[in-house]
A = this chain, B = another copy of it.
Amino acid sequence: MRTRERIIDSAAREFAWRGYDGTSLRHVAAGAGLKLGSLYFHFATKDELLAEVLRGAVELATARIDEAVAELGPTPSGSDVLSAAIGAHLHVLHESYDIGAAVVRVIDQPAADASGVLDQSRRYFDTWRHLVAVSRGNANPTDGDRLTAILLLGAMNATLGRRQPDTSNLESIIAAVRHHFALS
């Protein structure tokens, strides 16, 4: 089953840099060392492949957030939790570059309305809505929390430039985001 993952990796790269419509399955196959036809043994359709890429990305980011929060100790403040989550999200975005970028580029591209895509997007957004709510002591997210989550994700994802990132800056990026969002 190593092949399946090579395909997903290759697809993440293509989706990330060329977008959904700009991604050719022939390129994806080539990037995985396969011929076009072979893709269809593993994925029934372009949309299904995209959904898999996104599911993996959301899973990865969620896991990293959970780990970072867990490291905070038994009873962290809401503000610390949000701070940790911000760090985790940005690390994923800038380090496992392709897979992170794939999400950002593709997630609200309308062509990708296919089933799984919106689901993954909403799932991850809900995570953040809760993180924001908790950081403010709200049990259930308010409209204001929702709005802040939108702003926060927008700001973080914008730090992915058009080209290869310099991880050197990563810590100052994290600091800046925390400054604007985690201390309100």
A164 on interface, CB distance cutoff 8 Å = no
A90 to chain B, nearest CB (A): 11
A67 on interface, CB distance cutoff 8 Å = no
Contact B162 A147 (CB under 8 A): no
A153 to chain B, nearest CB (A): 6
| Tally of contact residues, A, Cβ under 8 A | 34
Cβ of A177: which chain B residues have Cβ within 8 Å of it?
A: 151
Known: A19-B21, A22-B110, A162-B110. A151 touches B172 (CB 8 A): no
Contact A184 B179 (CB under 8 A): yes
Question: Using an 8 Å CB-CB cutoff, how does the interface string of A142-184 with B read, 1 for contact, 0 for none?
Answer: 0010011011111111110010000001001100110111001
A97 to chain B, nearest CB (A): 14
Known: A18-B110, A19-B21, A109-B19. A158 touches B148 (CB 8 A): no
Cβ of A153: which chain B residues have Cβ within 8 Å of it?
A: 158
Number of identical protomers: 4
A17, A111, A151, A172 — most chain B CB neighbours (10 Å): A151
A108 on interface, CB distance cutoff 8 Å = yes
- With CB as the reference atom, state the residue of chain B lying closest to A113: B162
Q: Report how far A124 CA is from B176 CA in the complex, Å.
A: 22
Cβ-neighbour of A158 out of B154, B172, B176, B179 (below 8 A): B154
Cβ of A148: which chain B residues have Cβ within 8 Å of it?
A: 176, 180
A168 to chain B, nearest CB (A): 12
